[in-house]
Amino acid sequence: MSRNELEPRLFLASDIDAALELNNLNAPAVGEIDRTQLEFLIEHSLYSFAIGNSALHAFCITFAPGAPYTSVNYQWFSQKYTDFVYLDRIVVSEQMRDKSLGAKLYAAVEKRMLKDRCAPLLTCEVNLNPPNLGSIRFHNRIGFREVGQQDSKPGLTVSLLAKKIS
């Protein structure tokens, strides 16, 4: 596997099928979606990045304020902040975990945010109930802090996180 194979690149239309499969293999850590929903997310995203060429190893999708997106977590950030980037989903294939791909995707988003001077805050959420302990530790390690909590749906409580980008 080439070094370039593990570096973030822009998400391509040809990534849709592999991303859909990868996403749904990772439910409930990320919400299960269908092809139409994934195409909608990509179409309305601010930035979408992928890692992998011969196979898709990871991807992420972000939104700016004002996107036509009804996620209760995105809506929470939209009501609290006027200038932010919301990282809706980040998925890494099971066999590629512990290779820093998640950190590389976050770094790609942050670098692009700085380049575009688009927002001072990167936001996301992590499941508290049921707990996603690995994700909680990861987000703490890379500088995210909790700014709120909410019940996203019955049986699902999330920690709403933000990180200053400067």
Would you list the domain boundaries of the chain? 3-164
* pTM for the predicted model, two decimal places: 0.93
Question: For residue 40, is pLDDT > 70?
Answer: yes
Give the dihedral of Cα atoms 99, 102, 108, 110; nearest 10 deg.
Answer: -130
Question: For residue 65, is pLDDT > 80?
Answer: yes
Question: CATH number for the 3-164 domain, one of 3.30.110.40, 3.40.630.30, 1.10.760.10, 3.30.470.20?
Answer: 3.40.630.30
Task: Please give the average per-residue pLDDT across 115-121, as a whole number.
Answer: 94
Task: Please give the average per-residue pLDDT across 51-72, as a whole number.
Answer: 96
> Cα–Cα distance between 61 and 122 in angstroms, integer?
12
Please report the sign of the dihedral spanned by the C-alpha atoms of residue 71, residue 76, residue 82, residue 85. negative
Reduced to 3 states (helix: H, G, I; strand: E, B; else coil), residue 120 is: coil
Beta-carbon neighbour count of residue 139 at 10 Å?
21
> Cα–Cα distance between 111 and 116 in angstroms, integer?
9
